[in-house]
Structure 1
Amino acid sequence: MTAKAAAQSAAPQTPALPHAKPESLGLSSTRLQKMSDALKREIDKGTTPGVTMLVARRGQIGWFEALGKQDPAVDAPMAQDSLFRIFSMTKPIVSIATLQLVEDGELLLDAPLAKYIPEFADTKVGVDKGGKLELVALERPITIQDLLRHTSGITYEHTGNGPIHQMYQKARLGSRKISSAEHAKLVAGLPLLCQPGAAWNYSRSTDILGRVLEVITGQSLGALLTARVLAPLQMAETAFHADAANAGRLAQPFATDPWTGDKVKLFDMLEQPAIHSGGGGLVSTTMDYARFCQMLLNGGTLDGTRIIGRKTLELMAANHLESHIPPDNYILPPGHGFGLGFAVRTEPGIAPFAGSTGQYFWSGIAGTFFWIDPAEEMFAVFMSQGPGQREYFRNLLRGMVYAAVE
């Protein structure tokens, strides 16, 4: 028995979703093959080491492929059960857990963040006054809803290079060796980009939200997610690190980005972090995340187990950005708003790719993404570990999947 086979036999198994022929689901196998051919061309060109692509419709998987290499350094083939860093695809899972607490009466969406993390009562807003950063008081508190929809005024260090972004860059916010409590205190001590509710800024808000969940429940975020979301969905291989026995299943990037020449540095999936990053710390497989997506498409249930209420999920998948809140068109595509943990398509046009109004999705910075299309009873999951190519593949594959819908 190989080391990989031994690890698989010893590890908990994620139940596979049912499969069917594409045509029985209203999908064109010819068109899906063209998608596969396009991915193979990109792999042959050296765009990415390897990928997985899963398309499901009407409750069954119509296409699931693993192509290319799992790890280019050891020439290992990509597999359907390869493990990936899903980064920000952690956010929707944490968002679901947050709304579970709302349903249980343990949390209100309009509750002030400072109720759970008192340091945020003293957070100031940074305002540029003639090249000098002036700190002003909050006009209103940051709320839980602000964290979920990224209107808190918190930011990410990599989304700009202004004075506040530079302060983020100098802090230890990216360290996996600090606790979530320490991380929250560091963020609370930095200025906000704007007043809460004034703009949409993609941010560390979901990391802060993860700390709120820990404070309310007294559990680590990992234990909470396992108990409330992962175990009920039988997502047996999703966690904040991978066991050492799975070392042969880790998807890895090229050491150097093939387009920019930059060194690619991603976290060690086998290392157990001190922080359970609600914004980007989970490791998962394609089938594990497909089970999460199928639950969402089903309106909150899977295999007879309800994870979230139907009306609660409708609230999450609705646009929560008011007309005066400008989106960031790089991270949030044209024709889209943002809900409570997901980007939401608000227009049939405007966006540079096909889709349906009401479709919702998110992605990870290392190259993973998914979308849910209730109108077409369809979802898709794509996994890769190529940060520099993530936008390219998202647009390429959306167009090719929708071309297969009959």
Structure 2
Amino acid sequence: MHAPSLARLVQVLRTDVEKGLLPGAVALVHHRGATVLHEAVGLQRPAASGQAGVPMAPDTIFRIYSMTKPIASLVAMMLMEEGRLLLGNPVAQYLPAFAGQRVYDEATGQTAPVAREATVHDLLRHTAGLSYAWEAGTIPDAYRTARVGSRRHTNAQLAANLGPLPLVHQPGSRWEYSRATDVLGAVLEVIEGEPLGAILQRRVFGPLGMRDSGFQVPADQLHRLAEPFAKDPLTGDAVALIDVSAPPAFESAGGGLVSTAADYARFLQLMLGRGTATGLPGTDGPVRLASRATIDFMTADHLGSIPTAGDILPTGYGFGLGVAVRTATGLTTRPGTAGHYSWSGMGGTYFFVDPAEDLFAMVLAQAPGQLRYLCELYPALVYAALQ
């Protein structure tokens, strides 16, 4: 890659730190089998209450929020390969609370039976009729009353509380970003008979050597945890991220993990290798977790002409099984090639994988108000470095 362009990438992030837009960040770029950039800028923990700030380090730990989703989705693919999970099966086959669901009609205020049951495939591609309930309204109010997403509830409790609530769309009729991957986590626990954290450790983190990834940061490693500004630099709003200092009851498949750039790069190396990672330090030979056909299936567009709700999924993108999938090289505002896939985390983290360029890259920060900016900025900086 073009070394001056990679240096410029780092300088742009450093300038954002100097402007007070970001507390700090870690950037990583992997191209043609080698990590060509892995640098930290700014502060891991901003100065506060008379205490000096802590410099960002390449091995800083971040809350990656929704970058958890592709990892949980990979485990679902592994169970599919074993014949233990069929994507066409109804969710209710694993979680009885999802039987007999009904759909809310906003115009009439009434509910009607679903035309068909939501399937595991719907969970993976966010077409199960669920929501995140961020806005106001009847269904969001019902989510809040049921405390859907409470970190005091287990995955089983989340499923039991969410299943009986009305859907916002008929299953399979519309893409809406939602609690679907959290429900998938409950499905995985039913099949495997153990907590999600143990499943991820056994199936993904252990084999790939992802030693700093999990649902909590051990007490002796908390000094490595990145923190945000106390207030958003643009809006002045208070910033609060999830507490990862103790084991949560809610091991969220949709957004609960912590990780480092080096750890997540191991996962992305597996994805770019179409199910097999080679040359991972500390591993004994290649690590194969899924077939190339399965990874190709996972990272293909599964929406087709299904319409999308909201603006989270940009124009020019479809959605696979846990990742956004670029359907055209053009149409959108950020560089990339057709077949590139990506996702982000609401705390300020973003990655993409471009198989055509033999490339993956990520930027990790704890700056939720700057997430959309980073999702636009970072691909432009990385693609500028291609020769």
Shorter-chain TM-score tier: over 0.9
Report the Cα offset of residue 175 of structure 1.
1.7
Q: Which residue of 2 aligns with 1:41?
A: 15
Q: Which residue of 1 aligns with 2:111?
A: 135
CA RMSD for the aligned pairs?
1.0
Report the Cα offset of residue 329 of structure 1.
5.6
Q: Distance in 2 between matches of 1:298 and 1:94?
A: 18
The 5-angstrom pairing of residues 190-269 of structure 1 reads 190-269=165-244
| Structure 1 unaligned regions, length at least 5 | 1-26
Report the Cα offset of residue 247 of structure 1.
1.5
Residue type of the partner of 1:50? G
So what's the TM-score if we normalise by structure 2?
A: 0.95
Q: Distance in 2 between matches of 1:33 and 1:162?
A: 47
2:56 matches 1:78: yes
2:296 matches 1:314: yes
Q: State which drifts further: 98-107 or 185-194.
A: 185-194
Q: Which residue of 1 aligns with 2:86?
A: 108
Report the Cα offset of residue 345 of structure 1.
0.2
So what's the TM-score if we normalise by structure 1?
A: 0.91
Residue type of the partner of 1:36? V
Task: Please point out which of 16, 26, 29 is paired with 2:3.
Answer: 29
Report the 3-state secondary structure (helix = DSSP H, G, I; strand = E; otherwise coil) of the residue aligned with 1:122.
coil
Q: Distance in 2 between matches of 1:147 and 1:378?
A: 28
Q: Distance in 2 between matches of 1:360 and 1:66?
A: 24
Q: Which residue of 2 aligns with 1:166?
A: 141
Retained in 2: the 8 A contact 1:157–1:168? yes
Q: Which residue of 2 aligns with 1:50?
A: 24
Q: Distance in 2 between matches of 1:52 and 1:101?
A: 33
Residue type of the partner of 1:377? D
Q: Which residue of 1 aligns with 2:98?
A: 120
Report the 3-state secondary structure (helix = DSSP H, G, I; strand = E; otherwise coil) of the residue aligned with 2:106.
strand
Residue type of the partner of 1:139? A
Report the 3-state secondary structure (helix = DSSP H, G, I; strand = E; otherwise coil) of the residue aligned with 1:352.
coil
Report the Cα offset of residue 123 of structure 1.
2.1
2:316 matches 1:335: yes
Q: Which residue of 1 aligns with 2:329?
A: 348
| Structure 2 unaligned regions, length at least 5 | 279-285
Report the Cα offset of residue 308 of structure 1.
1.1
Q: Distance in 2 between matches of 1:60 and 1:206?
A: 31
Retained in 2: the 8 A contact 1:250–1:269? no
Summarize the Cα distance change of 1:208–1:369 in structure 2 as closer, same or farther, 3 Å threshold: same
Q: Distance in 1 between matches of 2:39 and 2:309?
A: 33
Q: Distance in 2 between matches of 1:259 and 1:333?
A: 23
Task: Please point out which of 118, 121, 125 is paired with 1:149.
Answer: 125
Report the Cα offset of residue 122 of structure 1.
2.5
The 5-angstrom pairing of residues 362-401 of structure 1 reads 362-401=343-382
Retained in 2: the 8 A contact 1:327–1:337? no
Residue type of the partner of 1:87? Y
Residue type of the partner of 1:62? V
Report the Cα offset of residue 169 of structure 1.
3.1
Report the Cα offset of residue 185 of structure 1.
1.1
Report the 3-state secondary structure (helix = DSSP H, G, I; strand = E; otherwise coil) of the residue aligned with 2:256.
coil
Percent identical: 47
Q: Distance in 1 between matches of 2:354 and 2:141?
A: 38
Q: Distance in 2 between matches of 1:392 and 1:328?
A: 21
